Amino acid sequence: MHIQEWIQTIPPLTIYLFVAGVVGAESVGVPLPGEIVLFSAALMASQGHADPVMVGVSAIAGAVIGDSIGYAIGRKGGKQLFERLGRRFPRHFGPDHLAQAERSFQRWGMWAVFFGRFVALLRIFAGPLAGALRMRYWKFLIANVLGGIVWAGGTTAGVYYIGVVAEAWLQKFSYLALVAAVLFGIASFLVVRRRVRPGTAVAESQDQTGEVAEETPAQSLRQ
């Protein structure tokens, strides 16, 4: 089965649930490719396999709910939770990652949650770390909702419209390729004809006189 035919068999509800699940799990603190999944779903929407509004809503819901769950886990587990995770998963929760995320929170406060939605590292840490640092929930929730709307909604809309434009361009590609080939052929013909013309004139002169006329000094200088 061709991949395009296989994609058409996926129910839209499955796409929405998958987007919400992966984005939500990443927001809780699980290192999953939420952004890649959202990009793929938005592209599928641009091809008519899903509703772009529902893709965006699913991503927003996953981001907000996942961050809130992560906040609750971080508030209950505290920094000890990150220390245990760092020993078990040093590639994702090592001391350097944690220190970098903490510096972002110290500098930006609640807006680290908002801007963290656009940064892969902070997207994983934002919810649990905000809870561990005892950030007030109402501040966290405001930044969480705004960040989820701007990130998920903006990404879905941008990728969707790029996909629509790209599809229209690709449909015209065969005609563009044909025009380019014709222009290339005409240009090649003119170049070859221009280069062959001097040799042809010399050949015609030889046929008429039996020899090539001697060049005068003035002609030699001009050449």
Q: What is the pLDDT of residues 79-127, one digit of tens each?
A: 777 677 667 766 666 677 677 777 877 788 888 889 888 887 778 878 8
Residue ranges per structural domain of the chain: 3-171, 173-210
pLDDT of residue 222: 40
User: What does the pLDDT look like over 134-152, one tens digit per residue?
Assistant: 888 999 999 999 999 999 9
Burial 189-217 (b: 16+ CB within 10 A, else e): eeeeeeeeeeeeeeeeeeeeeeeeeeeee
User: What does the pLDDT look like over 14-61, one tens digit per residue?
Assistant: 999 999 999 999 988 888 888 889 988 998 888 888 999 999 999 999
Global pTM reads 0.68
Residue 119: CB atoms within 10 A of its CB come to: 15
End-to-end CA distance of the chain, in Å? 66
